[in-house]
Amino acid sequence: MSLTARDLTIGRMPVEPDHGYIEALVARLRGFDIRGRGPMTDQRGIQTGYYKPSSGIARWTLDNADTADSLAIDVWNNHDASIYGATTGASGANQTYDTGEAYNFNGSGDYLEAPSLGSGFSSGFSAAVWIKPVFQGTSNSNHILSYESGSDNDTIFRFEQDDDSTGELDFGVRNGTDSFAEISYTGLKEDVWNHIVGTFDGVTVDLYHNGSHVGSTSASLVNDSAKFFKIGARHTTQDYWEGNMDDLRIYIKGLSDSETNSLYTDGYI
């Protein structure tokens, strides 16, 4: 039996056009093509089966089904990321909600690069991602992600991991012309899945780990837009990150404590 779009009705009884409506939040609706190749990726947002909030800028599930033609597909908008060396098919986080597969980064040349995520970041944003890090034990700080234009001065925000036994995680935003407003946190765990969220509301930078608030600092974010978004490296294509990464999301607002916890436990805000 084959179905077309005309055969599927959501929200009311198909045989009663004027009756039987329901009120509900549809959090995740996935469509599959008739050849069973997985979620359809020719349209974005809810059409592909992923609930997109109004503040959603980009989401890379890093699943096998959302990888095509050497691109990590942005299932919310059109910021597909080119894949340089990172490999698909690692086991995903799957600790609280289903996150499917993950990407593996080898720490010596693997990264992704997406085009500009647009502007508006000086008023607020959030970056959320699952990571399963490896501590390399070197003196360099490796970049989990960075939104920038080619130099530290052009960076809007970044996640760094200090490669030592303390498991230090840094989240910072550009604060003026010559410094970062940065939070340093030493509770990152090696070789297990960690959910990290960095937020900025226009005044305060906050960092969350596994749904819990772990640090904050004040900031005045100057840069509003950047040219590209790097995942697993920094602007000079160095300081490569090592580990597995899953379900990376960018929002154009600072998430609240409750929204951050909901994102960790349920997978949506």
Task: Return the percentage of the chain with pLDDT > 90, whole number.
Answer: 61
Of 132-146, 153-167, 243-257, where does the model show the most confidence?
Answer: 243-257
Dist CA 104 CA 132 (whole Å): 9
Strands of 149-255 (E only): list them: 157-162, 169-174, 180-185, 194-200, 204-209, 212-218, 228-231, 242-251
Q: Which tokens in the block code for residue 213?
A: 């608030």
Domain ranges within the chain, ordered by starting residue: 45-266
Dist CA 137 CA 14 (whole Å): 60
Tell me what pLDDT residue 12 has: 53
Tell me what pLDDT residue 6 has: 39
In this structure, are residues 241 and 254 in contact, taking their beta carbons and an 8 Å threshold?
no
Tell me what pLDDT residue 156 has: 87
Comparing 150-159, 213-222, 254-263, the range with the smallest average pLDDT is 150-159
How do residues 187-227 score in pLDDT, each as one tens digit? 999 999 999 999 999 999 999 999 999 999 999 877 888 89
Is the pLDDT at 171 greater than 50? The verdict is yes
Q: Which residues face 237 on adjacent strands?
A: none
State the CATH class of domain 45-266.
mainly beta
How large is the average pLDDT for residues 160-176? 83
Q: State if pTM tops 0.85.
A: no
Work out the number of other CB atoms within 10 angstroms of the CB of residue 205. 24
Dist CA 259 CA 230 (whole Å): 25
Dist CA 9 CA 97 (whole Å): 26
